Homo-oligomer: A and B are copies of this chain.
Amino acid sequence: MRVSRLFAPTLRETPAEAEIISHQLMLRAGFIRKAAGGIYSYLPLAWRVLKKIETIVREEMDAKGGQELAMPVIQPAEMWQETGRWSVYGEEMFRLKDRHNRNFCLGPTHEEMITTLVRGEVRSYRQLPLLLYQIQNKYRDEIRPRFGLMRGREFIMKDLYSFDRDEAGLDQSYKKMYDAYTRIFTRCGLTFRAVEADSGAIGGSGSHEFMVLAESGEAAISYCGSCDYAANVEKAELQPVQAQAEECLPLTEKATPGTKSIADVSQYLGVGPERTIKTLAYRTDTGSVVLALVRGDHEVNEIKLLNQVGCLQLDMANDEAIAGILQSHAGYIGPVGLDGSENVIIVADATVMNMYNAVCGANKRDLHYSNVNPSRDFKPAIIADIRLIQANDPCPRCGEPVKTARGIEVGQVFKLFTKYSTALQATFIGEDGKERPIVMGCYGVGVSRTMAAAVEQNYDQHGIIWPVPIAPYQAVVIPVSSKDEAQTAWAEKIYGELCAQGVEALLDDRNERPGVKFKDADLIGYPLKVTIGPKTISENLIEVKVRRTGETLYFSPEDYLEGIRELLAKL
């Protein structure tokens, strides 16, 4: 392809709307254009990257016995009503009616559709296991679509569903997909980690997320440098911190004017934050108030809290709720005296129950209690692990201090067990002649998100640095002066030879200044720039510059092809 013909309009300025680097660079480098909030056109360069990721995904799915099919994007409401998710999904689901007023949605996922499809066709254990997948557009009407492709409303997913006779079979299918995902992201040339994950609203238990490591990642992960433990911080389990027993002193009120934060009260009273109790108030979707207690230097893990309370959503309580329901005061909330109140659920992190003579809010303005002894002074409804893991917390597996990092979730594997097969009566007759629900799993790769994550992990101040396996083209041939006939003739020849040898090359044949051509090449991020300039003419040398390392190599016309092949193989 000649750059003069390529539809890849680059921009000199960063569009104001773009907050994160992948969004900025993919707009500037002519990869994507916005059609509406969270809805993008993928221009030819992006489409080439996406096709490469798709091909890798497809090969790895097929290698594990996956069979590709394609289910409708537009799905009838009835099957979603059968599982109850027609109402659960809320505003995140795009809904529409056809001309006969029948209800449809645009599939945010396909558990209902595939289970309905399979239940009509699978009758015997002999037909299992079955691994079925598709690569297609998915739809989620996000409240705040943002970050370009990272959180779109229309996006490309690979979703595979496994169907097994029993949990042992599911374990095997899960393992296959875990291994396939490991290969996929390795082959894409990305640095990633598979982490234990909370299995969330989709149900079932047992899940891993595949995280591309990047500082801009929305997800925090913790991992151990000593063993192979890694988990989403949402999921990472913690043992309660053991404390030295102390004599329980009498509960005392302390005037603490203007000390709403742990840092303030800690400083005012001269006690370490690890001797204070942090109390956060949440409203549940049923109207109760949850008081979550953690040690002052710890943070609440809201996912763990949600799972403990068993509700779908928790929002921070506002001042009115704190005053009205709790009869307390924001910044001075504490559990003492509230453990008997109606509609108040106290959830204490297990570590809190090991504290002695601590400080906590006294539910009055400018007042705290000191010498709070949890086991003596209040009775939580729930005592559990509800805290967020932090750097240097002990590894849940080996006890060594953990590290933390940020990641972008690009894949997730889930055990669904029989959640959907039971709801939709997808059963089979076992070898023993008995009917039972099919045991399912589901496995997603965010294909368009993987492209964005690759950019978040691979860029510099000049632009994108594509990993070779998913680069839109591997090399661009640039004649320094487009008016120099010797250079352009050389460039044409080299371009022709590269293409003939199977290198995915572009020829920048535009009548532009060299600076423009080099800047565009760096912005778009081709792994190699092959420069034909005065040195080529005078010294018979072809310059090859490596985008990632900045390294410049010179080859003779006899060995440049071999050199480029070696560079591409090792990058």
User: A residues touching B (Cβ–Cβ < 8 Å)?
Assistant: 4-7, 9, 33, 35-36, 39-44, 46-47, 50-51, 65, 67-76, 91, 94-96, 98-99, 102, 104, 106, 113, 116-117, 120-121, 126, 130, 132, 137, 139, 141, 143, 153-154
On chain B, the residues within 8 Å of A51 by CB distance are 68
The answer to whether A72 and B143 touch across the interface, beta carbons within 8 angstroms, is: no
A418 vs chain B, min Cβ distance (A): 20
CA distance A113 to B65 in the complex (A): 38
The answer to whether A73 and B43 touch across the interface, beta carbons within 8 angstroms, is: no
CA distance A30 to B153 in the complex (A): 33
The answer to whether A4 and B117 touch across the interface, beta carbons within 8 angstroms, is: no
The answer to whether B41 and A71 touch across the interface, beta carbons within 8 angstroms, is: yes
A300 vs chain B, min Cβ distance (A): 28
Q: Chain B: which residue is nearest A113 at the CB level?
A: B35
CA distance A7 to B162 in the complex (A): 13
Given contacts A35-B76, A36-B76, 16 further A-B contacts (CB under 8 A): A7-B69, A7-B121, A9-B121, A33-B117, A35-B71, A35-B75, A35-B116, A36-B72, A36-B74, A41-B69, A41-B70, A46-B69, A73-B73, A74-B94, A74-B106, A91-B99
The answer to whether B74 and A132 touch across the interface, beta carbons within 8 angstroms, is: no
The answer to whether A141 and B99 touch across the interface, beta carbons within 8 angstroms, is: yes
On chain B, the residues within 8 Å of A5 by CB distance are 65, 67, 130
Secondary structure at chain A's binding surface: helix, strand, loop or mixed? mixed
A-B contact pairs, 15 of them (CB 8 A): A5-B65, A5-B67, A7-B69, A7-B121, A35-B71, A41-B71, A42-B70, A42-B71, A43-B69, A44-B132, A47-B69, A73-B137, A74-B153, A99-B143, A106-B106
Copies of this chain, count: 2
A184 vs chain B, min Cβ distance (A): 19
CA distance A44 to B95 in the complex (A): 28
CA distance A117 to B106 in the complex (A): 24
A117 vs chain B, min Cβ distance (A): 6
Q: Chain B: which residue is nearest A137 at the CB level?
A: B73
CA distance A472 to B77 in the complex (A): 32
The answer to whether B99 and A41 touch across the interface, beta carbons within 8 angstroms, is: no
Q: Of the candidates B36, B44, B132, which one forms a contact with A104 in the assembled complex, judged by CB atoms under 8 Å apart?
A: B36
On chain B, the residues within 8 Å of A50 by CB distance are 70
Closest 10 CB pairs of A and B: A96-B96, A9-B121, A44-B67, A91-B99, A36-B76, A42-B70, A41-B71, A39-B72, A35-B72, A99-B141
The answer to whether B7 and A67 touch across the interface, beta carbons within 8 angstroms, is: yes
Q: Of the candidates B4, B35, B41, B72, which one forms a contact with A41 in the assembled complex, judged by CB atoms under 8 Å apart?
A: B72
The answer to whether B74 and A154 touch across the interface, beta carbons within 8 angstroms, is: yes
A504 vs chain B, min Cβ distance (A): 13
A287 vs chain B, min Cβ distance (A): 24
Q: Of the candidates B41, B70, B95, B116, which one forms a contact with A96 in the assembled complex, judged by CB atoms under 8 Å apart?
A: B95
On chain B, the residues within 8 Å of A7 by CB distance are 67, 69, 121, 130, 132
The answer to whether A40 and B72 touch across the interface, beta carbons within 8 angstroms, is: yes
Q: Chain B: which residue is nearest A6 at the CB level?
A: B67
CA distance A122 to B312 in the complex (A): 49
A503 vs chain B, min Cβ distance (A): 17
Q: A42-B69, A91-B99 are in contact. Are A74 and B6 (CB under 8 A)?
A: no
The answer to whether A126 and B35 touch across the interface, beta carbons within 8 angstroms, is: no
A313 vs chain B, min Cβ distance (A): 16
- Residue from the set A73, A74, A94, A102 with the largest chain B CB neighbour count within 10 Å: A74
